[in-house]
């Protein structure tokens, strides 16, 4: 059992030493090999602005109403239409009796 406490860290450190490989070149060395520089424009893939198609606001409102309301304003599983005795208290006071 004690050999495991010695063998496992020794194998781990040996693996780390092998994984490091060759020493990186000195950045101050003028003859060091470096990967070629690749130029990519910041404007690659630019799409000019286009006006979105205008929709009828009444149809948009009907779609939101049919979906159950706007995100963040939708009624959850317990809607305010339920009687007060069936609703659970919310927020900080939920666990208090």
* The pair of three-digit structure tokens given for residue 62, joined into one six-digit string: 């009907």
> How many residues would you count in the chain?
97
Instruction: Round to whole Å and give the CA distance between 92 and 30.
Output: 65
Per-residue pLDDT of the chain (97 residues; tens, 9 = 90+): 677 777 778 877 777 766 666 677 788 888 888 889 999 999 999 999 999 999 999 998 898 888 877 776 666 555 555 555 555 555 665 556 5
pTM: 0.26
Residue 77: per-residue pLDDT: 57
CA distance 85 to 91: 17
- Return the C-alpha torsion angle 44, 49, 50, 56, nearest 10: 130
30-39 contacts, C-beta under 8 A, 24 or more apart: none
What local confidence, expressed as pLDDT, does residue 48 receive?
A: 94
What tokens appear for 38 in the block?
């690749």
- Dihedral in degrees, nearest 10, Cα atoms 48, 53, 54, 56: -160
């Amino acid at each position: 059992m004690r050999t495991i406490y010695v063998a496992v860290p020794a194998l781990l450190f040996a693996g780390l030493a092998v994984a490091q490989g060759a020493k990186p070149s000195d950045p101050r060395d003028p003859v060091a090999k470096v990967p070629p520089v690749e130029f990519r424009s910041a404007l690659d893939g630019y799409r000019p602005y286009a006006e979105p198609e205008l929709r009828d606001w009444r149809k948009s409102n009907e779609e939101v109403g049919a979906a159950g309301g706007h995100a963040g304003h939708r009624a959850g599983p317990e809607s305010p239409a339920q009687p007060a005795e069936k609703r659970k208290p919310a927020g900080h006071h939920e666990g208090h009796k």
